[in-house]
Amino acid sequence: MQDMGVDPVAHNRAAWDKYVQEGDEWTRPVSTEDVERARKGDWSTVLIGHESVDRSWLPTDLTGKDVLCLASGGGQQGPILAAAGARVTVFDNSPGQLGQDRMVAERDGLDLRTVLGDMRDLGAFGDASFDVVFHPVSNLFVPDLAPVWRECFRVLRPGGSLLVGFLNPDVYLFDHEALDERGELNVVHKLPYSDVTHYSAEERATKFGADAALEYSHTLTAQIGGQLAAGFVLTGFTEAPDHSNAAGQYLSNYYATLAVKPG
């Protein structure tokens, strides 16, 4: 049953602002100690789950590189990359999440700017503005991906890299409540899945809470094929389980791709 009245951008903005207030794991900023280590070259950050991103996926020296942390607010990836020497822009849909990045930047004296917006519209940036786009698991919060890949391609410089983390769509086959609360793998959904098309507003409120973020599964064609269709060349792929999730015993919950804009 499709609820055509839902605005995913507005709804998920409010949802993530609330997650910040509640101290959700993905809204907790890095520490000053983490920043200081990054300044000395000892750093890591995550693209999928809790796995540190392969350092070979990023430039050997980030000094002076323009990095767009796309839908990556929360004071986590952006400050670490800035401390490592990059000129970082954090772009996110949640003012609360961006506030976490600004707090870390002010606390630790980092050169980092924040921009509010929908990941499908990067009109705030000119063509060929960035050397790297760092896009951790977040595109499950928008219903369509083609605009994301087109915009990433546009704002990257020739030879620039796109690092993307995303959920294995098969995770959405399972009943969320049974999986999260009882560790049961009950297949109940057809793919592609979305909270909006599978449940009414009343059902969503009962099952997840009225203020929960809306999620959308995306096919591998949309995730990987979409990057190729936008003009990218894929040069890296990896996967990781979620050890806190029962599904992680049987499948990889997360995938990550490294793609390059030819030039």
Reported as a single tens digit per residue, the pLDDT across 213-243 is 999 999 999 999 999 999 999 999 999 998 8
User: Does 133 reside within a domain?
Assistant: yes
Label residue 185 by pLDDT band (50, 70, 90).
Answer: confident
> Is 125 contained in some domain?
yes
Tell me the C-alpha distance between 70 and 92, whole Å. 7
Residue 158: the pLDDT is 98
Buried b (16+ CB within 10 A) or exposed e, 80-108: bbbbbbbbbbbbbbbebbbbbbbebbeeb
**Number of neighbouring beta carbons within 10 Å of residue 130:** 26
How confident is the model at residue 73, as a pLDDT? 98
Q: pTM, whole model, 2 decimals? A: 0.96
CATH code, domain with 103: 3.40.50.150
**For the packed helices 95-108 and 8-22, what is the interaxial angle rounded to 10 degrees?**
50
Is pLDDT of 169 > 60? yes
Say if 37 falls within a structural domain.
yes
Instruction: Look at residue 180 and tell me whether its pLDDT is greater than 90.
Output: no
Residue 83 belongs to a domain: yes
CB 133 within 8 A of CB 58: no
Which structural domain range is residue 66 located in? 8-167+228-241+256-260
Instruction: Let me know if residue 127 belongs to a domain.
Output: yes
Look at residue 2 in the predicted model and tell me its pLDDT.
46
Residue 162 included in any domain = yes
Of 2-16, 70-84, 135-149, minimum mean pLDDT range: 2-16
Is the pLDDT at 249 greater than 90? The verdict is no
Alpha helices in 40-188 (DSSP H): 77-83, 95-108, 146-155, 176-182
Assigned domain for 23 exists = yes
6: CB partners within 8 A, 6+ apart: 196, 201, 214
Enumerate the H helices of 23-145 as residue ranges.
32-39, 77-83, 95-108
Please choose, from the candidates 110, 27, 111, the residue with its C-alpha nearest in 3D space to the C-alpha of residue 74.
Answer: 27
- Cα separation, 19 vs 78, whole angstroms: 19
Q: Which of 12-16, 180-184, 250-254 comes out lowest in average pLDDT?
A: 180-184
pLDDT at residue number 5: 77
Confidence label for 4 from pLDDT (cuts 50, 70 and 90): low
Residue 3 clears pLDDT 60, i.e. is over it: no
Confidence (pLDDT) at 1: 38
User: How many domains does the chain divide into?
Assistant: 1
Q: Is residue 39 part of a domain?
A: yes
